[in-house]
Amino acid sequence: MSAGILPGAERKSQCLHDGALALGISSSRPGRTVLVTGGVRRIGRAICETLAARGWSVVVHSRRADDPDASALAERLGGIALSADLSEPLAAAHLFQAACDVAPDISAIVNNAAVFHPGDGLPPETVARIMRINAEAPERLTTLLGLRLMEHPPFHGAVVNLLDCRVVPPSQTADTPYMASKRTLRDATLKCAGLFASSLRVNAVAPGPVLPPVGAGVRVPGGDILLPARPTPQDVADAVAFLLDAPSITGQILAVDSGQSLMV
């Protein structure tokens, strides 16, 4: 057909095709590329491995550019490794742009990267670092993906944020900088789910006292649970994978905590 205004269904089909080309994907199959922040070790690694096994192309994020484990994991999974220190104010935007450059069909983000500190009374710079990594960077990455996909309808994406099961109940938890950052991310999850509903589903997984790696010491008490066994990194990864592929779920928090959130 010659150039010009296309009638009815033919015009709609052409628009969808053009939008797909703009994203670097086929209009018959939206992209299945996911950025996993903090994806190199423990829960992050389990998420990357699980998503790769389920057909996702994985962009593995690490904090350090010289992290050999990130490159090895990405190579093993057939993915790509990127680095960024998310404590830097502009790092999230730079990471997202880098991910789009290497994977134009990116349609999902798992915001797993976090820094944990159990105490209070921390120096202001430490408090700011915790908030930037745990809350501000995930919300910025979510916003950037939502805006990107809004420009190219009808392609739809998904974000899963990693919270902490202690922020799931309505009761107030200990007011440490870490818990404050996770409450902020919890609220951002709900806000972004409503704001970007036309292009993005936004959910969260709230892990409980996940079993440590074999041979690793427990740094803080895990707390009581209702079920006989504590959750594993694989349990968390399976929940993330489920939410990424659940087309009718948004604005929800799934606690993977062996019932611990019911006891807070």
Length of the chain: 264
- Residue 17 is predicted with a pLDDT of 37
Tell me how far the alpha carbon of residue 54 is from its chain's centroid.
16
What pLDDT is attached to residue 221? 56
How many whole angstroms separate alpha carbon 218 and alpha carbon 234? 18
Provide φ and ψ at 175, rounded to 5°.
-90, 65
Q: Which residues of 191-222 are buried (b: 16+ CB within 10 A; e: fewer)?
A: ebbeebeebbbbbbbbbbbbbeeeeeeeeeee
Count CA within 13 A, CB hemisphere, residue 18. 7
What is the residue-level pLDDT of the chain in tens, covering all 264 positions? 233 333 333 333 333 334 433 433 333 335 799 999 999 999 999 999 999 999 999 999 999 999 999 999 999 999 999 999 999 999 999 999 999 999 999 999 999 999 998 778 889 999 999 999 999 999 999 999 999 999 877 679 999 999 999 999 866 566 899 999 999 999 999 999 999 999 999 999 999 999 765 554 444 556 789 999 999 999 999 999 999 999 999 999 999 999 999 986
Q: Please tell me the predicted confidence (pLDDT) of residue 111.
A: 98
Q: Which of 100, 183, 182, 188 is nearest to 149 (CA)?
A: 100
**pLDDT of 15:** 38
- State in words which class domain 28-263 has: alpha beta
Please state the domain extents for the chain: 28-263
**Residue 88 CA, distance from chain mean position:** 18
**What backbone torsions phi and psi does residue 208 show, to the nearest 5 degrees?**
-100, -145
Q: Which ranges of the chain would DSSP assign to H, the alpha helix?
A: 8-23, 42-53, 68-77, 91-102, 124-131, 137-150, 177-195, 233-244
Residue 13's identity, in one-letter code, is S
Please enumerate in sequence order all residues whose Cβ is within 8 A of that of 258, keeping only pairs 6 or more positions apart, or say none: 208, 209, 225, 226, 227, 229, 230, 231
Q: Which helix (H) or strand (E) holds 247?
A: none
Q: Which helix (H) or strand (E) holds 66?
A: none
Q: Please give the pLDDT value at position 194.
A: 97
129 contacts 63 by C-beta, under 8 angstroms: no
Tokens found for residue 230:
């504590």
What pLDDT was estimated at residue 217? 47
Q: Which residue has the tokens 């209702």?
A: 226
What confidence score (pLDDT) does residue 214 get? 54
Which tokens go with 127?
């408090």
Q: Determine the residue type at 38.
A: G
225/257 Cα distance (integer angstroms): 8
